Structure 1
Amino acid sequence: MPEVQAVKDLDKVKIVGYLLEKTYGQQIADIWNIGLNLALRISDLLSIKFSDIQGDRLILREGKTGKLATIKLNEKARVIIERIRSERPDHVYLFQSYRNRWSFNQSPKPLSRRYVSKAISMIGEEVGLELGTHSMRKTRGYHLYKNTNDLARVMKMLRHSSEAVTLRYIGITQEDVDRDFVELEL
């Protein structure tokens, strides 16, 4: 299985969101847009309940690490969340599966990771990128690093403990470092 990439071109970030909406619907496009803005692992993103959102903050315990993530929601994330909340006031999960809405004795469940992964992967093929569910998180980290050149800040946002892991994760290669040396002349 190939390693998924960050989307380094901001126009392609928008194209992916557009194609997800046109091909798979608003809910999958919302996952992409919220995922880009929260930089969570897909399992944590799909597990968000409306009760985890307190004012302008998302507070949840990460499944993989057990760390408490307290994320201030930006305007784009708040607008999407409020739209979903108003359209689906009976939902427990932000990205709740519609599959069991006709089953009366079924408890609510979020969308499956497999479905989201397939949708993002298929759109990645269309735009010529190796995309997957981690691409949202990697893309956010990559663009934060490119805008700030502050690796410590990216590490904190992604809740990583190693610079090497963070650089590899966001796709900063030796080629990128070489280009920085050539382009920045003092």
Structure 2
Amino acid sequence: MNEVEAVKNRDTIKLISYLLERHFGQQMADVWNIGLNLALRISDLLAIKFSDIDGDRLSIIEQKTGKRASIKLNPKTLALIEAIHQRHPEHIYLFQSHRSSQAKDRQAPAKPLTRRAVAKAFAFVGDDIKLALGTHSMRKTRGYHLYQACKDIGRVMRMLRHQSEAVTLRYIGITQQQIDKDFVELEI
């Protein structure tokens, strides 16, 4: 598995959303845009049910850690979720597989999009724009931009629910060279 990157340029973030919608439809663009705002692992993002959302708060048990995550939803995320719910009021999952909807006639249970489908779409767009893009890119991108805004690695670590600052720095792509640059540029 190749290492994927945080998307560091905001225009590139918007371009990715546009390309996902153009090539794969609104649902895949919604995965990207909501994923950026929730910073969840892909397995947790795809498993979100509308019933996990209460007002402006998402509450789930993370699959990897078994820990409860309670996330306050920002206005952009709330608007995206509401638009999805209006388009598909019968869906159980936020990102419900359309194949699952078609299987409704056969009494098959609803299922979310697969990680594989999302990874394939992201890899296609990443190849197009020459960026190592994958399912972790959303989470890494959110962490990177929060770090750039606050320079508080402890805060980023808590948002990503990591156990160590070193893991978080490596995860969001902050290198020793960038840390050195911060020390040189900030004179007090």
Same fold (TM over 0.5): yes
Where in structure 2 are the equivalents of 1:6-155 lying within 5 Å? Answer: 6-103=6-103, 104=105, 105-155=107-157
> Residue by residue, what CA displacement relative to the aligned partner does 1:134-166 show, whole Å, maximum 9, x if unpaired?
000000000000000111110110001100000
Identity of aligned residues (%): 63
Q: CA deviation at 1:185?
A: 2.6
Instruction: Please list every run of 5 or more consecutive structure 1 residues that lacks an aligned counterpart in the other structure.
Output: none
TM-score by length of 2: 0.97
Q: CA deviation at 1:25?
A: 0.5
CA distance in 2, matches of 1:100, 1:170: 34
TM-score by length of 1: 0.98
Q: CA deviation at 1:126?
A: 1.1
Alignment match, 2:172: 170
Q: CA deviation at 1:122?
A: 1.1
CA distance in 2, matches of 1:102, 1:166: 41
Aligned residues: 186
CA distance in 1, matches of 2:147, 2:83: 30
Q: CA deviation at 1:181?
A: 2.3
Helix, strand or coil for the counterpart of 1:69? strand
Instruction: Please list every run of 5 or more consecutive structure 2 residues that lacks an aligned counterpart in the other structure.
Output: none
Helix, strand or coil for the counterpart of 1:96? coil
